[in-house]
Structure 1
Amino acid sequence: MVTVAPPHPWTYALRLPHDPRAVRVARMTVRAALRGHGRQDALDVVELLASELVTNAYLHTKGPASLRLTGLGDGRLRAGGWDSDPYVPSPSGGAGDDSAPLAPLDTGSGRGLLLVQEYADSWGGRALGDGALGRGAGKLLWFEVGGRATLPLLPK
Protein backbone atom coordinates (compact mmCIF):
# COMPACT_ATOMS: atom_id res chain seq x y z
CA MET A 1 0.00 0.00 0.00
CA VAL A 2 1.36 3.40 -0.99
CA THR A 3 0.84 6.36 1.31
CA VAL A 4 0.15 9.70 -0.36
CA ALA A 5 1.84 12.76 1.12
CA PRO A 6 -0.71 15.36 2.21
CA PRO A 7 -0.62 18.75 0.44
CA HIS A 8 -0.36 20.58 3.76
CA PRO A 9 2.61 20.79 6.14
CA TRP A 10 3.10 18.22 8.90
CA THR A 11 5.46 18.29 11.87
CA TYR A 12 6.93 15.81 14.31
CA ALA A 13 8.75 17.14 17.37
CA LEU A 14 10.93 14.93 19.50
CA ARG A 15 12.47 15.87 22.85
CA LEU A 16 15.58 13.79 23.52
CA PRO A 17 17.42 13.22 26.79
CA HIS A 18 21.21 13.39 27.01
CA ASP A 19 21.56 9.69 26.29
CA PRO A 20 23.60 7.89 23.62
CA ARG A 21 20.44 6.00 22.58
CA ALA A 22 18.80 9.28 21.56
CA VAL A 23 20.47 9.14 18.15
CA ARG A 24 18.88 5.77 17.40
CA VAL A 25 15.48 6.99 18.61
CA ALA A 26 15.80 10.02 16.31
CA ARG A 27 16.69 7.84 13.30
CA MET A 28 13.78 5.49 13.99
CA THR A 29 11.39 8.44 14.29
CA VAL A 30 12.61 9.98 11.03
CA ARG A 31 12.22 6.63 9.24
CA ALA A 32 8.69 6.12 10.56
CA ALA A 33 7.58 9.67 9.75
CA LEU A 34 8.97 9.70 6.22
CA ARG A 35 7.66 6.24 5.39
CA GLY A 36 4.28 7.17 6.80
CA HIS A 37 4.13 10.22 4.56
CA GLY A 38 5.37 8.42 1.45
CA ARG A 39 8.74 10.17 1.40
CA GLN A 40 11.08 7.20 1.02
CA ASP A 41 12.84 9.22 -1.70
CA ALA A 42 14.37 11.43 1.00
CA LEU A 43 14.80 8.83 3.71
CA ASP A 44 18.55 8.16 3.46
CA VAL A 45 19.57 11.82 3.38
CA VAL A 46 17.22 13.04 6.10
CA GLU A 47 18.03 10.12 8.39
CA LEU A 48 21.79 10.66 7.99
CA LEU A 49 21.68 14.43 8.48
CA ALA A 50 19.21 14.36 11.38
CA SER A 51 21.36 11.79 13.16
CA GLU A 52 24.38 14.10 12.68
CA LEU A 53 22.52 16.96 14.39
CA VAL A 54 21.46 14.75 17.31
CA THR A 55 24.92 13.18 17.61
CA ASN A 56 26.53 16.63 17.79
CA ALA A 57 24.06 17.67 20.49
CA TYR A 58 24.91 14.59 22.53
CA LEU A 59 28.69 14.91 22.07
CA HIS A 60 28.98 18.65 22.68
CA THR A 61 26.40 19.38 25.38
CA LYS A 62 25.37 17.96 28.73
CA GLY A 63 21.67 18.65 28.40
CA PRO A 64 18.67 17.51 26.39
CA ALA A 65 18.14 18.12 22.70
CA SER A 66 15.17 18.38 20.37
CA LEU A 67 14.58 17.34 16.79
CA ARG A 68 11.75 18.73 14.67
CA LEU A 69 10.91 17.27 11.28
CA THR A 70 8.52 19.17 9.00
CA GLY A 71 7.10 18.14 5.66
CA LEU A 72 6.28 21.26 3.70
CA GLY A 73 3.44 21.39 1.19
CA ASP A 74 5.80 22.02 -1.72
CA GLY A 75 7.66 18.73 -1.31
CA ARG A 76 10.54 20.03 0.79
CA LEU A 77 11.48 18.53 4.12
CA ARG A 78 12.96 20.59 6.94
CA ALA A 79 14.71 19.25 10.03
CA GLY A 80 15.90 21.33 12.95
CA GLY A 81 17.99 20.30 15.89
CA TRP A 82 18.10 22.29 19.12
CA ASP A 83 20.61 21.91 21.92
CA SER A 84 21.61 23.93 24.96
CA ASP A 85 25.01 25.17 23.71
CA PRO A 86 24.75 28.59 22.00
CA TYR A 87 27.98 28.04 19.98
CA VAL A 88 27.20 27.61 16.28
CA PRO A 89 30.09 25.68 14.71
CA SER A 90 31.24 26.09 11.14
CA PRO A 91 31.15 22.99 8.95
CA SER A 92 34.96 22.86 8.87
CA GLY A 93 35.26 22.77 12.64
CA GLY A 94 36.58 26.28 13.14
CA ALA A 95 34.81 29.27 14.63
CA GLY A 96 33.43 30.43 11.29
CA ASP A 97 36.86 30.17 9.63
CA ASP A 98 36.61 28.19 6.40
CA SER A 99 40.36 27.63 6.43
CA ALA A 100 40.22 25.36 9.48
CA PRO A 101 41.67 21.93 8.71
CA LEU A 102 39.28 19.12 7.88
CA ALA A 103 39.16 16.04 10.06
CA PRO A 104 41.59 13.34 8.87
CA LEU A 105 39.92 10.64 6.79
CA ASP A 106 40.93 7.90 9.23
CA THR A 107 39.08 9.46 12.19
CA GLY A 108 35.54 8.48 13.10
CA SER A 109 34.24 11.98 13.74
CA GLY A 110 34.55 15.62 12.81
CA ARG A 111 32.73 15.75 9.49
CA GLY A 112 29.05 15.89 10.50
CA LEU A 113 28.32 19.46 9.45
CA LEU A 114 30.31 18.94 6.25
CA LEU A 115 27.84 16.16 5.43
CA VAL A 116 24.96 18.53 6.16
CA GLN A 117 26.54 21.19 3.94
CA GLU A 118 27.11 18.68 1.13
CA TYR A 119 23.76 16.84 1.05
CA ALA A 120 21.21 19.43 2.16
CA ASP A 121 19.70 21.83 -0.35
CA SER A 122 19.99 24.57 2.27
CA TRP A 123 21.05 24.68 5.90
CA GLY A 124 22.03 27.07 8.66
CA GLY A 125 22.20 27.71 12.34
CA ARG A 126 21.76 30.45 14.86
CA ALA A 127 22.26 31.06 18.53
CA LEU A 128 19.02 31.65 20.36
CA GLY A 129 18.22 34.53 22.72
CA ASP A 130 18.82 34.84 26.43
CA GLY A 131 17.79 31.93 28.60
CA ALA A 132 17.46 31.64 32.34
CA LEU A 133 20.00 33.44 34.52
CA GLY A 134 21.40 35.36 31.54
CA ARG A 135 22.71 32.23 29.85
CA GLY A 136 22.05 31.62 26.19
CA ALA A 137 19.03 29.53 25.25
CA GLY A 138 21.13 27.29 23.03
CA LYS A 139 21.18 27.05 19.27
CA LEU A 140 19.16 25.75 16.39
CA LEU A 141 20.80 24.00 13.44
CA TRP A 142 18.53 23.19 10.51
CA PHE A 143 18.56 21.81 7.00
CA GLU A 144 16.14 21.39 4.12
CA VAL A 145 16.04 18.84 1.35
CA GLY A 146 13.80 18.79 -1.66
CA GLY A 147 14.05 17.30 -5.10
CA ARG A 148 17.69 16.21 -4.90
CA ALA A 149 17.34 14.33 -1.60
CA THR A 150 19.31 11.23 -2.52
CA LEU A 151 22.75 10.13 -1.43
CA PRO A 152 25.22 9.63 -4.28
CA LEU A 153 27.33 6.52 -4.23
CA LEU A 154 30.43 7.24 -2.21
CA PRO A 155 33.82 5.91 -3.35
CA LYS A 156 35.16 2.98 -1.35
Structure 2
Amino acid sequence: MVTVSPSECEGAPTWAYTLQLPHDPRAARIARVTLRAVLAGHGMTQLQHAAELVATELVTNAYRYSTGPATLRLRGLDRSRLRVSVWDADPHIPPPFDNKQRSVPPRPAPPEADGGRGLFLVCHYAQVWGGYPLGGDLFGPGGKLLWCEVGVSAADRAASGA
Protein backbone atom coordinates (compact mmCIF):
# COMPACT_ATOMS: atom_id res chain seq x y z
CA MET A 1 0.00 0.00 0.00
CA VAL A 2 1.37 3.40 -0.98
CA THR A 3 0.31 6.52 0.88
CA VAL A 4 1.12 10.17 0.47
CA SER A 5 0.70 12.99 2.96
CA PRO A 6 1.42 16.52 1.76
CA SER A 7 2.04 19.26 4.29
CA GLU A 8 3.68 22.65 4.64
CA CYS A 9 6.93 23.08 6.55
CA GLU A 10 8.59 26.51 6.78
CA GLY A 11 6.84 27.56 3.57
CA ALA A 12 8.28 24.72 1.48
CA PRO A 13 5.95 21.93 0.44
CA THR A 14 6.85 18.57 1.94
CA TRP A 15 5.42 15.15 1.22
CA ALA A 16 5.88 11.54 2.28
CA TYR A 17 5.25 8.21 0.57
CA THR A 18 5.28 4.87 2.34
CA LEU A 19 5.70 1.60 0.45
CA GLN A 20 5.18 -1.75 2.18
CA LEU A 21 7.55 -4.36 0.73
CA PRO A 22 7.23 -8.13 1.16
CA HIS A 23 10.26 -10.25 1.97
CA ASP A 24 11.05 -10.77 -1.71
CA PRO A 25 14.28 -10.45 -3.71
CA ARG A 26 12.45 -8.14 -6.16
CA ALA A 27 11.75 -5.56 -3.42
CA ALA A 28 14.77 -3.38 -4.28
CA ARG A 29 13.69 -3.13 -7.92
CA ILE A 30 10.15 -2.23 -6.91
CA ALA A 31 11.54 0.41 -4.55
CA ARG A 32 13.64 1.93 -7.37
CA VAL A 33 10.69 2.07 -9.78
CA THR A 34 8.55 3.75 -7.11
CA LEU A 35 11.34 6.15 -6.22
CA ARG A 36 11.79 7.22 -9.85
CA ALA A 37 8.06 7.89 -10.22
CA VAL A 38 7.91 9.88 -6.97
CA LEU A 39 10.93 12.03 -7.80
CA ALA A 40 9.68 12.68 -11.33
CA GLY A 41 6.26 13.61 -9.99
CA HIS A 42 7.80 16.15 -7.63
CA GLY A 43 10.31 17.57 -10.11
CA MET A 44 13.30 16.22 -8.19
CA THR A 45 14.95 14.03 -10.82
CA GLN A 46 18.34 15.60 -10.01
CA LEU A 47 18.36 13.39 -6.89
CA GLN A 48 17.53 10.17 -8.73
CA HIS A 49 20.97 8.52 -8.96
CA ALA A 50 22.02 9.10 -5.35
CA ALA A 51 18.54 8.31 -4.01
CA GLU A 52 18.33 5.07 -6.02
CA LEU A 53 21.72 3.98 -4.72
CA VAL A 54 20.89 4.53 -1.06
CA ALA A 55 17.34 3.15 -1.30
CA THR A 56 18.55 0.03 -3.12
CA GLU A 57 21.21 -0.66 -0.52
CA LEU A 58 18.91 -0.15 2.46
CA VAL A 59 16.08 -2.26 0.97
CA THR A 60 18.50 -4.99 -0.11
CA ASN A 61 19.98 -5.16 3.40
CA ALA A 62 16.48 -5.35 4.87
CA TYR A 63 15.82 -8.36 2.64
CA ARG A 64 19.19 -10.02 3.33
CA TYR A 65 19.29 -9.55 7.11
CA SER A 66 15.63 -9.78 8.07
CA THR A 67 13.07 -12.53 7.65
CA GLY A 68 9.96 -10.43 7.25
CA PRO A 69 8.59 -7.50 5.29
CA ALA A 70 10.16 -4.04 5.10
CA THR A 71 8.82 -0.54 4.69
CA LEU A 72 10.35 2.18 2.52
CA ARG A 73 9.49 5.78 3.29
CA LEU A 74 10.39 8.67 1.03
CA ARG A 75 10.00 12.16 2.38
CA GLY A 76 10.67 15.38 0.52
CA LEU A 77 12.21 17.82 2.98
CA ASP A 78 12.33 20.71 0.54
CA ARG A 79 12.77 21.08 -3.21
CA SER A 80 16.32 19.73 -3.16
CA ARG A 81 16.48 17.23 -0.26
CA LEU A 82 15.02 13.78 0.24
CA ARG A 83 14.97 11.52 3.29
CA VAL A 84 15.00 7.78 2.57
CA SER A 85 14.04 5.51 5.49
CA VAL A 86 13.75 1.73 5.65
CA TRP A 87 12.20 -0.24 8.49
CA ASP A 88 12.75 -3.98 8.98
CA ALA A 89 12.15 -6.42 11.82
CA ASP A 90 15.82 -7.13 12.62
CA PRO A 91 16.79 -4.99 15.65
CA HIS A 92 20.54 -4.95 14.86
CA ILE A 93 21.70 -1.51 13.71
CA PRO A 94 24.90 -1.75 11.64
CA PRO A 95 27.72 0.76 11.93
CA PRO A 96 27.81 3.66 11.18
CA PHE A 97 24.02 3.90 11.55
CA ASP A 98 24.38 2.85 15.21
CA ASN A 99 25.41 6.45 16.11
CA LYS A 100 28.70 5.28 17.64
CA GLN A 101 30.75 6.85 14.85
CA ARG A 102 28.15 9.01 13.12
CA SER A 103 30.60 11.73 12.14
CA VAL A 104 33.09 9.23 10.73
CA PRO A 105 32.05 7.40 7.55
CA PRO A 106 32.95 3.71 7.45
CA ARG A 107 36.19 2.67 5.83
CA PRO A 108 36.06 1.10 2.39
CA ALA A 109 36.09 -2.69 2.34
CA PRO A 110 39.40 -4.34 1.47
CA PRO A 111 39.65 -5.25 -2.24
CA GLU A 112 39.51 -8.98 -1.45
CA ALA A 113 36.33 -8.71 0.68
CA ASP A 114 33.10 -10.21 -0.68
CA GLY A 115 30.92 -7.52 0.90
CA GLY A 116 30.98 -4.42 3.02
CA ARG A 117 30.78 -1.80 0.30
CA GLY A 118 27.09 -0.96 0.39
CA LEU A 119 26.83 1.03 3.60
CA PHE A 120 30.10 2.79 2.73
CA LEU A 121 28.43 3.98 -0.48
CA VAL A 122 25.29 5.04 1.39
CA CYS A 123 27.36 7.20 3.73
CA HIS A 124 29.38 8.60 0.83
CA TYR A 125 26.32 9.73 -1.12
CA ALA A 126 24.15 10.73 1.84
CA GLN A 127 24.59 14.04 3.62
CA VAL A 128 23.49 12.67 7.00
CA TRP A 129 22.35 9.26 8.21
CA GLY A 130 21.21 7.48 11.32
CA GLY A 131 19.30 4.59 12.76
CA TYR A 132 17.36 3.70 15.83
CA PRO A 133 15.73 0.61 17.31
CA LEU A 134 11.97 0.30 17.44
CA GLY A 135 10.53 -1.60 20.39
CA GLY A 136 7.71 -3.97 19.61
CA ASP A 137 4.39 -3.89 21.42
CA LEU A 138 0.85 -5.16 21.06
CA PHE A 139 0.26 -2.77 18.17
CA GLY A 140 3.21 -3.65 15.98
CA PRO A 141 6.59 -5.29 15.54
CA GLY A 142 9.89 -3.90 16.71
CA GLY A 143 13.00 -3.87 14.57
CA LYS A 144 14.94 -0.85 13.40
CA LEU A 145 14.69 2.16 11.16
CA LEU A 146 17.68 3.24 9.08
CA TRP A 147 17.52 6.61 7.34
CA CYS A 148 19.64 8.95 5.28
CA GLU A 149 19.20 12.25 3.52
CA VAL A 150 20.23 12.95 -0.04
CA GLY A 151 20.59 16.48 -1.35
CA VAL A 152 21.70 18.15 -4.50
CA SER A 153 25.44 17.96 -3.67
CA ALA A 154 25.21 14.19 -3.01
CA ALA A 155 23.23 13.77 -6.20
CA ASP A 156 25.94 15.64 -8.12
CA ARG A 157 28.57 13.20 -6.78
CA ALA A 158 26.45 10.22 -7.82
CA ALA A 159 25.83 11.60 -11.31
CA SER A 160 29.53 12.28 -11.86
CA GLY A 161 30.55 8.84 -10.58
CA ALA A 162 32.71 10.29 -7.80
With the length of structure 2 as denominator, give the TM-score of the two structures. Answer: 0.78
Residue number in structure 2 paired with 1:52: 57
Distance 1:60 1:79 in 2: 18
Distance 2:141 2:91 in 1: 6
Distance 2:33 2:49 in 1: 12
1:126 aligns with 2:132: yes
Q: Would you say how many aligned residue pairs link Structure 1 and Structure 2?
A: 145
Q: Is the 8 A contact 2:66 2:90 kept in 1?
A: yes
Residue number in structure 1 paired with 2:122: 116
Q: Is the 8 A contact 1:82 1:138 kept in 2?
A: yes
Of 139, 147, 155, the residue aligned with 1:142 is 147
Residue number in structure 2 paired with 1:3: none
Residue number in structure 2 paired with 1:8: 13
Q: Is the 8 A contact 2:129 2:149 kept in 1?
A: yes
RMSD of Structure 2 on Structure 1 (CA): 2.8
**CA-to-partner distance for each residue in 1:30-58, whole Å, 9 max, x for gaps?**
11111111111110000110010000000
- With 50-59 and 65-74 compared, the bigger mean Cα shift is at 65-74
Residue number in structure 2 paired with 1:21: 26
Q: Which amino acid aligns with 2:41?
A: G
With the length of structure 1 as denominator, give the TM-score of the two structures. Answer: 0.81
Q: Is the 8 A contact 1:85 1:136 kept in 2?
A: no
How has the CA–CA distance of structure 1 residues 86 and 136 changed in structure 2, closer, same or farther, with 3 Å as cutoff? farther
Distance 2:21 2:58 in 1: 12
Gaps of 5+ in 1: 1-5
How has the CA–CA distance of structure 1 residues 36 and 91 changed in structure 2, closer, same or farther, with 3 Å as cutoff? same
Q: Secondary structure at the match of 1:145?
A: strand
